[in-house]
């Protein structure tokens, strides 16, 4: 198998250009012409996709060893999209040490939306298990998901992706990991059992403090 450093540079063939350019061209066009009025082109409008974004999404998907990648305008937009798969009444167990912006989005937006957010020390596997399990006798169903950071921002607590994902799956919950501080260079959460990996690509993935971006990679087609 190709080694990681090679995957970073040559992991995806740059097939989409007419010039032989070795870097993926940047498409600025918001709108694409239809060849015929009844054509169904892959690209029609940039909000729903463009070739540059597709390349980025495929690149992060292969680096995180997932099936599909998704790119967003910020890390918080990525988190918002992921958590939007849940519905009012769903309970999500969240690491008690997470990025402040994620905390605010969960507790100021998603709670108003009807999501039940339950904070837990995800380094304490017994406490995590009790929280994910819920309490059927008292009408508390198992959680739908566990949400945590591999290495937490800002306190740099290390979370065990494999152990947390095992607990989540035991109760049918998804394991959702914010891998921003680690990057796939150091750890690939999907390979350790997580279902969804999120990045604020604004941080270590972009690397130069000059881009706001968010990325998500999922393990399977259903989730994608």
Ligand X SMILES: *Cc1c(COP(=O)(O)O)cnc(C)c1O
Interatomic CA distance for residues 217 and 71, integer angstroms: 9
Binder among 153, 165, 175, 219 for ligand X (CB under 6 A): 153
For residues 52 and 212, which CB has a smaller minimum distance to ligand X in the complex?
A: 212
Interatomic CA distance for residues 137 and 94, integer angstroms: 23
Q: Can 203 be counted among the known catalytic residues?
A: yes
Q: Can 185 be counted among the known catalytic residues?
A: no
**110 lines the binding site for ligand X (CB under 6 A):** no
Binder among 50, 97, 102, 123 for ligand X (CB under 6 A): 102
Question: From the CB of 154, what's the least distance to ligand X, in Å?
Answer: 8
Place of tokens 């463009």: 50
Which of the stretches 18-26, 47-55, 84-92, 195-203 binds ligand X when contact is defined by CB under 6 A? 195-203
Place of tokens 């969240």: 94
Given a contact cutoff of 8 angstroms between Cβ atoms, the answer to whether 37 and 49 are in contact is no
Q: Which residues in 18-37 contact ligand X (CB under 6 A)? A: none
- Token pair in block for residue 145: 């998901």
Q: Which residues in 41-70 contact ligand X (CB under 6 A)? A: none
* Sheet containing strand 116-120, strands side by side: 68-72, 214-218, 196-200, 174-178, 145-149, 91-95, 116-120
Chain residues in the site for ligand X (CB under 6 A): 74-76, 99, 101-102, 149, 153, 178, 180-181, 200, 202-203, 212, 214
């Amino acid at each position: 198998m190709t080694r990681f450093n090679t995957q970073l540079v040559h992991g995806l063939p740059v097939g989409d250009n007419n010039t032989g350019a070795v870097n993926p061209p940047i498409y600025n066009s918001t709108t694409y012409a239809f060849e015929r009025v009844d054509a169904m082109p892959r690209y029609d409008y940039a909000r729903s996709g463009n070739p540059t974004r597709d390349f980025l999404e495929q690149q992060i998907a292969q680096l995180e060893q997932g099936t599909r990648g998704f790119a967003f305008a910020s890390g918080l937009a990525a988190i918002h999209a992921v958590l939007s798969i849940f519905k009012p009444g769903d309970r999500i167990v969240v690491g008690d040490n997470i990025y402040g912006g994620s905390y605010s989005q969960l507790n100021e937006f998603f709670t108003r939306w009807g999501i039940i957010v339950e904070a837990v020390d995800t380094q304490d596997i017994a406490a995590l298990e009790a929280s994910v399990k819920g309490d059927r006798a008292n009408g508390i169903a198992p959680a739908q998901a566990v949400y945590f950071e591999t290495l937490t921002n800002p306190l740099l607590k290390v979370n065990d992706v494999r152990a947390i994902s095992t607990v989540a799956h035991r109760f049918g919950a998804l394991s959702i990991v914010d891998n921003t501080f680690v990057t796939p260079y150091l750890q690939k959460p999907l390979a350790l059992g997580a279902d969804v990996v999120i990045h604020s690509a604004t941080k270590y993935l972009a690397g130069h403090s000059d881009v706001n971006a968010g990325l998500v990679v999922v393990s399977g087609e259903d989730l994608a």
